[in-house]
Structure 1
Amino acid sequence: KDDKDSLLDGKDDKGAAKPEKKDKKKDVVKDAEAAHEALFAESRYPSAGTCGTCHPKHYQEWAVSQHSYAQLSPVYLSLNNKINELANGSNGDFCLRCHNQVGANLGENSFVSNLERHPTSREGITCVVCHRINKNYNKVSGRLALVEGGLTAPIYGPTGNKELARVLDNTHQYRVVTDPKKPGRQIHKEVKQFADISNPIFCGACHDVTLFNGFRLEEAFSEYRTSPAAARGETCQDCHMGKVQGVASGYEYGPGAIVGGVPTMPRKLTNHFFAGPDYSIIHPGIFPHNAEAQRMATLKEWLQFDVAAGWGADAFEEKVKDDSGFPERWQSVDDRYDAREIIDYQLKRLDWARQKRLEVLRNGYHLAKVVVEQADKDGIEFRVQVKSGTDGHNVPTGFSGERLVWLEVTVTDRDGKVIFRSGDRDPNGDLRDGHSSYVHAGKIPIDPYLFSLQSYFVTQNGRGGEIEHVIPIPYPVISLPRVLPSPVSLVFTGEPPTERNHKRGIEPLGERWGEYEVDASALTGKGPYKASIKLLQQPAPVNLLIAIQSVGFDYGLSPRAAGAALVAGTQLLWEKSLTFDIKE
């Protein structure tokens, strides 16, 4: 069985059969073929690492962004594989087209592990995905044709060629060449003006996702087009590429490139981090993208480096008496120390990304009023207001069927005993809603007061009713499930009759209220009572991992480890507390 064509089973290399003897000649030939293949792909789609030589600021922002994580995400990859399993392969490379245009244009199999992909393909939404586009594709769900060419081929940007022409007129200062056959610091020979790269419609090419059958999976761009922000001329770029994440706050100003240590003329700088709700759950040796880490070890070798155990740190290494117990790549203590330096740097970058993610989320959601309706011996009733902080689109937006934003409310008496709880988790880490495995099994009660902004995917069942699904695949009763073009026009309905996205988010500058009741029977007589109210965010529920676990996860990640990492990254956006002084 060819590994490149197989679904990942979530198992690591420990259980794999090992060949008795290596054929070194075959290994050399295989390595040579891989090197030539990589060189060929680089000549068509240059890597972000290549661009980062002259654009270090843009590269550092991008390298820890969700755009650069788009293909590396094990949740995305397994969800794509599971959808194709459920839809009998009819979804094809649909998801790949947005998450990895380079891989799609290279013709890579959508089921292939990231460990087997071309390095530029692993970069997801990399530099060339935006800067090698010369047409306005409008809302095409990521089906884009990239302009091919090596490093010296023209690129496309908002302002054109003026500054590059100045650099090329001063080759004695910048020491650059535009002929790939000549020695020297290679640079693209032209920047062709493409004004639409600064317009919202450019973002809409990927950020409005409509399936083959007309199902509107994501509508961020459509929401924006009817928003107050759009009406006054603010763009996606103004909020998501400016000084402050999620707010139109102006742009930084500085050199767009540093060529051989010499900065170019100052200009408007756009931030290429694009903060959003997702975060990495994979090994920090693999993400963020890091050229030094890539030179140090392969992805498979990084997966063997035990960060949690403390490899490469003094506290761990001082206790090591024999290096033979380590994987071959990490048997050298010097290599482990070098790797630890890289890991520490990577963790700092991830923490920076976490702060920026918190910035955009806090700008998008506000925990507003708390209104007490009743607080006496007959019980407690109160309402909590959650408001949208943006007028650019709904919150949550995008893949709103995945996005968890909810209120965790806990009421305690003066001894700290919990007398009321909503928004808490089951043992899997799920909220106690209809998709909790423990609620389904009758082991814990459903949360009747749960305030959650997560959308639900709803499909028709066999008798005309509707049912919620974690994964939006319609289940026909007369044929195998497929995602196929609709046989009728959807111009009036906007989506197919077989499935829909039941949105529960907040419209621009809108509000929602959570309502809570503590029954008199729950009061202990030990007032005053205190309520803790937290607004929390998580990019996806654990039940999504449960739904897709049958196809396995990349990097040998177990479902439990993936779920634990997802829960561990949950962010507290806002919190409030209040006291109920009840005389009993």
Structure 2
Amino acid sequence: MKLFDKRKDVLVLNSNVEINSYSLRTWVMATLVFMFIISNVSFPSVVSASEDASMMSDKKAAKMTSSSEAPAGEVSEGDDAAVDASEEHKSLFIESRYPSATTCATCHPKHFKEWSVSQHAYAQLSPVYLSFSSFTNEITSGTNGDFCFRCHSPVGANMGESPFISNLDRHPSSREGITCIACHRLTKVYNKRSGRLAILKGDLLTPVYGPSGSEELDRVLDNTDEFKVVTEKGKPGRKIHTSVVKFSAISSSTFCAQCHDVTLLNGFRLEEAFSEYRMSPAAARGVTCQDCHMGKVQGVPSGYEYGPAAVIGGKETKSRKLTNHFFAGPDYPVIHPGLFPFNVEAQELATMREWLEFDHEAGWGTDAFEDKVAEDMKFPSRWESVDDRYDAREVLNVQFEQLKFARGKRLEVLKNGYKMGKTVVVQDDNDGLRFKVKVENLTDGHNAPTGFAAERLVFIQVTVTDSTGKAIFKSGDLDPNGDVRDHESTYVHNGEVPLDDQLFDLRGRILVTNSRGGEREVVIPVPYPVTTIPFLRPTTRSLILTGESPVERINRRSLAPLDHRWAEWKVDGDLLTGKGPYKAKIDFIAGMAPANLVGAIKGQGFDYAMSAQEVAENVAAGYEVLYSEEVTFKADGVAKVAEMSFLDSIYGFFK
């Protein structure tokens, strides 16, 4: 069954255009409960303003987008008007409490450039995350609240923003995900808190927290004429924070645990990267998360670069240890390059909505396009000028270079985490082929994959062909939706393609309890309700003995640190065509998420007016082949069938 139809499935983010089975069931049950209450409960005639609407209805109202609003990414007539002065004042007021990373970029260009294309920067912008969070709240009747939001946008959570609104309507600092102040304005460590971090509020003059203290900053402040900086409000000049508080915890692995060990209210352990690390050989050796993920080489403890931490008024500060703020991992952006990576020039040139109107794929702003463009071709008002289109293309060329850099670093960390060995041939004759490869976790710091391991698609694709190029065996191939042929493929579920019973993959499986015993695989970690309105509540019992929620768990398939597993395939003799020699192509592939995840949450719509098919195609386009090998087999015939006499066959029939 096809999950995506590009012509029909463009929905406003969190729109109520499409009501899925969860919504309908919840609505029916809520209606029955409401009717019962009306019939059996008497209410006072006067209701205070604070009691007029429940917290749940407030969340629902904030979550659902009015059908009269323009879809995310589309410009309504009102968008062309100047921004109201009160909104500008509000934005400036928020900036004075939560400075943007673009403000920090002035003196920290190296750190900003690394961060600007990182997974931390992309955390809130991701349309997959935003729709996933919104869908989870819908099927838990809103009780998941801001659980996801507070790690994906600590600033937005501190500001009290709704977790569900489009990123196009957020404050710039909130859109920046794990931005500078999300770490450097924390005054203490919250351990395995799953977010809910209190950021120190204040303008650029407010102290920041870092690993080194204030020694070099004090030297700068003692020479304000040389560096041309000021530390007083209202005084003209380049403002700078007044002090750097030494915060050793920011260099510890426990600091990362605040968001990289995710346990839901009911005890469900969704992500356990930090817990895995605590039990790892790396932790025993004293290697920290930062040693592997903020050093010279992504994924291995490789030491640190040295250089100036800041460039102030064109003058470099003294050389010191520098940590890399790229934090490579398996995720990658699927949105318009004008929106990400973060780029000060891009933000100055156009708004997010205007960038969404710039058709970079058509070649706008290139000689090849502009030399042939028809005179009567209509462009959006922001891009009517050919000069503006060329300016936009120059900005995008910088963006593409940044994305190329990010892809290289992503491959670096993945190859430092996984290894596929040489193929070992077990059987090679006309009765069939058998072969296997060894897959290893090279890191000693955590499992591979780690984090949201039930979302990480890591698999091996095998194709065996005869001498004519005809494929006689496949495993790890994708269905028309872009899914491997496992139990979560809708094509397998509907019997349109066979189950891949020899599939090798490392993605965990989320299992939830059924209504009457047993478990089932799901993509979203919420038990499937039949007769009740689902909601998330704190566990009522200690989890010391069970270690997990009684209603959901993850069947982990990850490799433990330095562990390995053999992947093996068998091609039966009756599949051989007699046109040997046969060749096997074996590809080890890593992807961000399976297509069926996009299909499961598409009813929420996607930010930036993206269709589900666009999102799924962009997700699949990021799949990376980490290792590839071709093997030639000696077998060149078909399976031999022993000749039997007529009497032998009769004897065999009655035996």
TM bucket, shorter chain: over 0.9
Which of the numbers 38, 44, 69 marks the counterpart of 2:97? Answer: 44
Which residue identity lines up with residue 357 of structure 2 in the other structure? Q
Matched, 1:500 2:558: no
Residues 277, 12 of structure 1: CA spacing in aligned structure 2 closer, same or farther, 3 A cutoff?
A: farther
Residues 15, 225 of structure 1: CA spacing in aligned structure 2 closer, same or farther, 3 A cutoff?
A: closer
Unpaired segments of 5 or more residues in structure 1? none
Equivalences for residues 260-279 of structure 1 within 5 A: 260-279=313-332
Residues 407, 145 of structure 1: CA spacing in aligned structure 2 closer, same or farther, 3 A cutoff?
A: same
Give the Cα–Cα distance (whole angstroms) in 2 for the partners of residues 133 and 352 of structure 1.
30
Secondary structure of the structure 2 residue equivalent to 1:94: coil
Aligned to 1:187: 240
Which residue identity lines up with residue 144 of structure 2 in the other structure? N
Give the Cα–Cα distance (whole angstroms) in 1 for the partners of residues 152 and 248 of structure 2.
24
Aligned to 2:597: 544
Which residue identity lines up with residue 425 of structure 1 in the other structure? L
Secondary structure of the structure 1 residue equivalent to 2:282: helix
Which of the numbers 494, 500, 515 marks the counterpart of 1:441? Answer: 494
Unpaired segments of 5 or more residues in structure 2? 1-14, 16-59, 638-655
Q: Is the 8 A contact 1:199 1:235 kept in 2?
A: yes
Aligned to 1:235: 288
Aligned to 2:478: 425
- Shift of residue 321, structure 1, vs aligned partner: 3.1
- Shift of residue 480, structure 1, vs aligned partner: 1.4
Give the Cα–Cα distance (whole angstroms) in 2 for the partners of residues 375 and 23 of structure 1.
67
- Shift of residue 31, structure 1, vs aligned partner: 2.6
Secondary structure of the structure 2 residue equivalent to 1:382: strand
Equivalences for residues 280-299 of structure 1 within 5 A: 280-299=333-352
Which residue identity lines up with residue 634 of structure 2 in the other structure? D
- Shift of residue 81, structure 1, vs aligned partner: 0.3
Which residue identity lines up with residue 412 of structure 1 in the other structure? T
Residues 14, 261 of structure 1: CA spacing in aligned structure 2 closer, same or farther, 3 A cutoff?
A: closer
User: Structure 1 stretches (4+) deviating beyond 6 angstroms?
Assistant: 1-4, 14-17
Aligned to 1:312: 365
Aligned to 1:358: 411
Give the Cα–Cα distance (whole angstroms) in 2 for the partners of residues 3 and 404 of structure 1.
35
- Shift of residue 291, structure 1, vs aligned partner: 0.6
Which residue identity lines up with residue 575 of structure 2 in the other structure? A
Aligned to 1:6: 64
Mean Cα deviation higher: 334-343 or 363-372: 363-372
Larger gyration radius, structure 1 or structure 2? 2
Matched, 1:395 2:448: yes
Aligned to 1:517: 570
Give the Cα–Cα distance (whole angstroms) in 2 for the partners of residues 76 and 579 of structure 1.
43
Q: Is the 8 A contact 2:582 2:636 kept in 1?
A: no
- Shift of residue 307, structure 1, vs aligned partner: 0.7
Equivalences for residues 75-154 of structure 1 within 5 A: 75-154=128-207
Residues 529, 23 of structure 1: CA spacing in aligned structure 2 closer, same or farther, 3 A cutoff?
A: closer
Q: Is the 8 A contact 1:7 1:111 kept in 2?
A: no
Q: How many residues align?
A: 578
Secondary structure of the structure 2 residue equivalent to 1:325: coil
Give the Cα–Cα distance (whole angstroms) in 2 for the partners of residues 579 and 371 of structure 1.
12
Aligned to 1:372: 425
Secondary structure of the structure 1 residue equivalent to 2:382: helix
Aligned to 2:272: 219
Q: Is the 8 A contact 1:4 1:116 kept in 2?
A: no
Matched, 1:325 2:378: yes
Which residue identity lines up with residue 100 of structure 2 in the other structure? S
Which residue identity lines up with residue 84 of structure 2 in the other structure? D
Aligned to 2:607: 554
Which of the numbers 190, 202, 210 marks the counterpart of 2:255? Answer: 202
- Shift of residue 320, structure 1, vs aligned partner: 1.7
Give the Cα–Cα distance (whole angstroms) in 2 for the partners of residues 532 and 23 of structure 1.
53
Mean Cα deviation higher: 410-419 or 546-555: 410-419
Secondary structure of the structure 1 residue equivalent to 2:403: helix
- CA deviations on 1:488-528 (whole Å, 9 max, x unpaired) are 11111111110001100100000112110101111111211
Aligned to 1:59: 112
Give the TM-score normalised by the residue count of structure 1: 0.96
Give the Cα–Cα distance (whole angstroms) in 2 for the partners of residues 101 and 7 of structure 1.
23
Aligned to 2:41: none
Secondary structure of the structure 2 residue equivalent to 1:576: strand
- CA deviations on 1:435-469 (whole Å, 9 max, x unpaired) are 11111111110101100100011000011100010
- Shift of residue 370, structure 1, vs aligned partner: 2.1
Q: Is the 8 A contact 2:73 2:356 kept in 1?
A: no
Give the Cα–Cα distance (whole angstroms) in 2 for the partners of residues 146 and 458 of structure 1.
36
- CA deviations on 1:15-71 (whole Å, 9 max, x unpaired) are 98966xx699xx55x431221111111111100000010000000000000000000
- Shift of residue 471, structure 1, vs aligned partner: 0.2
Secondary structure of the structure 1 residue equivalent to 2:416: helix
Give the Cα–Cα distance (whole angstroms) in 2 for the partners of residues 8 and 471 of structure 1.
26
Q: Is the 8 A contact 2:584 2:630 kept in 1?
A: yes
- Shift of residue 13, structure 1, vs aligned partner: 5.0
Which residue identity lines up with residue 195 of structure 1 in the other structure? S
Which residue identity lines up with residue 347 of structure 2 in the other structure? Q
- Shift of residue 351, structure 1, vs aligned partner: 0.8
Aligned to 2:50: none
Give the Cα–Cα distance (whole angstroms) in 2 for the partners of residues 369 and 355 of structure 1.
24
Q: Is the 8 A contact 1:8 1:551 kept in 2?
A: no
Which of the numbers 228, 232, 240 marks the counterpart of 1:175? Answer: 228
Residues 406, 18 of structure 1: CA spacing in aligned structure 2 closer, same or farther, 3 A cutoff?
A: closer
Q: Is the 8 A contact 1:323 1:332 kept in 2?
A: no
* Identical positions, percent: 58
Give the Cα–Cα distance (whole angstroms) in 2 for the partners of residues 448 and 153 of structure 1.
59
Q: Is the 8 A contact 1:8 1:552 kept in 2?
A: no
Residues 207, 18 of structure 1: CA spacing in aligned structure 2 closer, same or farther, 3 A cutoff?
A: closer
Secondary structure of the structure 1 residue equivalent to 2:362: coil
Give the Cα–Cα distance (whole angstroms) in 2 for the partners of residues 427 and 163 of structure 1.
58
Residues 70, 14 of structure 1: CA spacing in aligned structure 2 closer, same or farther, 3 A cutoff?
A: closer
Residues 513, 420 of structure 1: CA spacing in aligned structure 2 closer, same or farther, 3 A cutoff?
A: same
Which residue identity lines up with residue 64 of structure 2 in the other structure? S
- Shift of residue 356, structure 1, vs aligned partner: 0.3
Which residue identity lines up with residue 231 of structure 1 in the other structure? A
Which of the numbers 532, 540, 548 marks the counterpart of 1:479? Answer: 532
Secondary structure of the structure 2 residue equivalent to 1:57: helix
RMSD over equivalenced CA pairs, Å? 1.9
Give the Cα–Cα distance (whole angstroms) in 2 for the partners of residues 574 and 180 of structure 1.
56
Residues 17, 506 of structure 1: CA spacing in aligned structure 2 closer, same or farther, 3 A cutoff?
A: closer
